[in-house]
Structures are given as C-alpha cells and as structure tokens.
Structure 1
C-alpha cells in the first residue's frame, strides 16, 4: 500500500486490523479524510482514495467516466486487500464507492459499504446535477452552492475559482454522464447516512437503494445538511467504529445500529 499512488494514509501509529477506504465528494480533497484517524483510533486505518489528476497525482490524466474510475480504483483496492475493510463514500464518492463495490464483491475481506449524502444510484444523475454540469464560470459556482461545501472565500473570489473549480467541474460532468446499469444486489451490508437538512437527498430518494442490497440497508440521519460532517467527523466515525469492531466480535456487521441524531 505504501507504494500505491491511489492511497493517502497516516503511516504513524500501530498496525490496525481493518481499513476504511474513503472516497471524496466531487472536487473534494482526499486528504481531508486523514483527520478522521484520530477519532477512529486503533479500530481501523483511514485510507483516502486519491484518483489520478487529483492531489499529489495532479500531473496524471484524470479518468473520463465513472466506470473507468471505478475499474481502476477497484483494481488498486484488490491489490491491497489483506485485511477486513469497509468502503465509505460521500455524494459523488458514494456513487463511485458503489460501483467499486460491484466490482470487488467477491473479495472475502470486503465487509460493508457506507454510502453518504447520495440518493439511490438508479435515480442518478439528478436533473439539478446535469443542469449544473452544463454551466460555466460564475453560473456554475452559484449552481454548485446549492449543495454547500464551497468556502465563502471561493464563492467571492474569481481567481480562487479558476484555480480550484476545474476539478469540481470535471467531477460534476462525470456524474452528469453516469449511466446506471442494473446488476445483482450487493452481498455485503449497506449503511446509508444523510443529513436531515440536506436539500439534495430526501427519504424518497433512498428507497431504491433496497434493490441494490441483498439485505435491507440501514439508514441513519445526522443533524446538518449535505456536508453534515463538516466540523464534526464523529457523525461518521461514530458509525464506522462499531462496524469495524463488530467484525472482530460475535455480532455481524449487518446488525449494528447507531443513532446519530
């Protein structure tokens, strides 16, 4: 894993018995997940997935669509799967984690998918995302503001937008071009976590997730909007810790239940 450009991790601390591979939202910085390691402690190692063209891989050619990116990420994970692991993805990252899960379902160490801030894949892309992906410049910035997550200084500064928004625009275009294809349900348990005030994801949008899982997905609602975990990573890590702990105990992951609100 230390030699793979796909993964960012905190090499400090003890060897951990499980991993959580984290997929960022559209335009998100994978490194932001590394701050979660403190909350996870020794229960699992947080591993941020860094696609080509992002972060330290900025000089590499980015993937052109979700299937290509999922295929390459799945191959990288399969090469490092030497212990139980969970996939976590937020928003665009949840779509990508879902498609990766479809490709690595046969790996015995793959134990759980946690999809955050994301309607069921069969409902994607939404009309709002498709419309936003067609916009440019200030109009795109304002449209993306609906989802939250853009710092005020970026919204107010066109120079910062020119620097930071191309990756966001590319990811929005990738989601806008996503084509859902029916497939066999996932064998691993699935947990859905969303903000109660998220204007983009509602209860009805989660219903079709049930068709993607062999068992009924567990739903959690956290206080906040689309980026409900900003400033409070415990909204996610408080869910992740019991999942990975259960893997080493008597209770199966699928029976874990945590109340977030």
Structure 2
C-alpha cells in the first residue's frame, strides 16, 4: 500500500486495491454516508484504491457540525484529499456528491494546476442547468421524510423509526440546504474527461440536463443511461462498476 497519509475523519477505505491502481474517490448523495459505497468498493477492489467520503453530521460523525453550502463541503474535501491530488485519481459523485466532486475538481485546477484523471457524475443535472423548485430544506420533518421515501434511496423501515430520524434529519436538512442554495459561478471549464451516468426516469435530472455536463469540459464527454430513477445504481450496481472501471485513468 502506498504510504500516503489521508484525513481519517473524512476518508473511509473498505477494501485494499492494487498498489499501483488509481485512487477512486466516491462522493455520497444528500443524506448519504460512506457506507453506501462499500458494495461498489468491493466490486472495484481489483481496479482501484476506492476511498469513500464521510460527511459530517452522520453515523460516526453525527456530533460534527453539519455543513450547509456546497462551497464549504468542497473546501473541506479538497483539504482532506490534497495528499493524493498529484497521484492518478478519479472522482465519482452521486447526486449532491456530483456537485461537490465538480467543485473539488475546479479547486484542484485553480489551486494546484492539476485535475482528476476523470470526473464521473451520477444522478445530477449539469451545474449550469438550474431549476427553480420548492425547497425541500424548508419543509417540516414529515415533508423531508416524504421526499426521501419518494426517491427510494433509503429503506422506508428506517424512516419509520423516530430514534433513527432524530439522528439523520439534521444532516439531511443540511445537505438539502447546500444543494438547493447552490448556484453555479461561470469559470473556465475543466479539461479532464467527464462521464455522466443517469437513470432514464430520474425526476431530479432529465436526459437533456445531464447532457449539459458536456459544456463543462474541453475534454471527452460520455453519457451512460440506465433504466430507473434517481437511485438507478441500486439495481445496476455491477453495470455501474463496469462503467467506472472502463473510465479509470
């Protein structure tokens, strides 16, 4: 294993990959945790050194202050990942994670004059494709739970447990605040390849909005569409892992 010191507050590693394999950093969705990517890590253990981010306010970080802006997430993630940014590294972000991954990639270019070998974005419209939508973060707790159930990304039995809800709702509300208050600031586009993955029935990102990621790089752009909604990758885990493996630097 390469001797690189990473921030163990932010970074989780579930499996060891080949020593010379590229790093793959996985960015969870709103309300998500690093554990969401444990199955993906197992499927990619022969192809990459998979690292999953653990955002504050959940699980073993539930007592850490929740973040409420994408910029705050990106600044802290950038600091946590800086030790590997001169190494071969790829980013994979789902939903809110795609936005954070994009902003971290932009910081890499601006601050270190480098970029990830590839930016893979899932379940998210391009940053420049803004929607005016009712704010989920402004709803009461029941309204946020209804949103989570509608997206089918969380076991509904968990959402019916009051004790669990007390633990997860502050982080979920903070994440939705970050997502829904984010506004893209036009800057020079990236040069790294962008690979977009999406479900063909995702209510959060239609195909034209996902295609808009093409405008955010001067490099290659590829789009992979799967049957399903916002959490299409639950049903297509192996196929998603195969796409990621093919695009690793």
Q: Please indicate, yes or no, whether the TM-score normalized by the shorter chain is above 0.5.
A: yes
* 5+ long unaligned stretches in structure 2: none
Shift of 1:88: 0.5
Which segments of 5 or more consecutive residues in structure 1 lack a partner in the other structure?
248-261
On the 8 A contact 2:68/2:177 being kept in 1, the answer is no
State yes or no: 1:119 paired with 2:114. Answer: no
Number of residues of Structure 1 aligned to a counterpart in Structure 2:
243
Q: Over aligned residues, Cα RMSD in angstroms? A: 2.1
Out of 27-36 and 138-147, give the one that drifted further: 138-147
Spell out the pairing of 1:100-119 with structure 2 (5 A cutoff). 100-105=104-109, 106=112, 108=114, 110-119=116-125
C-alpha separation between the residues in 2 aligned to 1:242 and 1:232?
Answer: 16
1:90 has 2:94 as partner: yes
Contact 1:30 1:49 in 2 (8 A): yes
Instruction: Tell me, yes or no, if the aligned pair for 2:67 and 2:174 is still in contact at 8 Å.
Output: no
Preserved contact between residue 34 and residue 47 of structure 1 (Cα < 8 Å): no
- 1:107-158 CA distance string (max 9 Å, x none): 547200000000111224x333x42111012122113333221212134344
1:184 and 2:179 aligned? no
Cα distance between partner residues in 1 of 2:179 and 2:108: 21
TM-score normalised according to structure 1 size? 0.84
1:20 CA drift (Å):
0.5
Of 16-25 and 224-233, the range deviating more from structure 2: 224-233
Deviation string 1:200-256 (CA, Å, 9 cap, x unpaired) is 211221243222111352110012211111154213211111122xx4xxxxxxxxx
What is the TM-score when the length of structure 2 is the normalising length? 0.88
1:241 pairs with 2:245:
yes
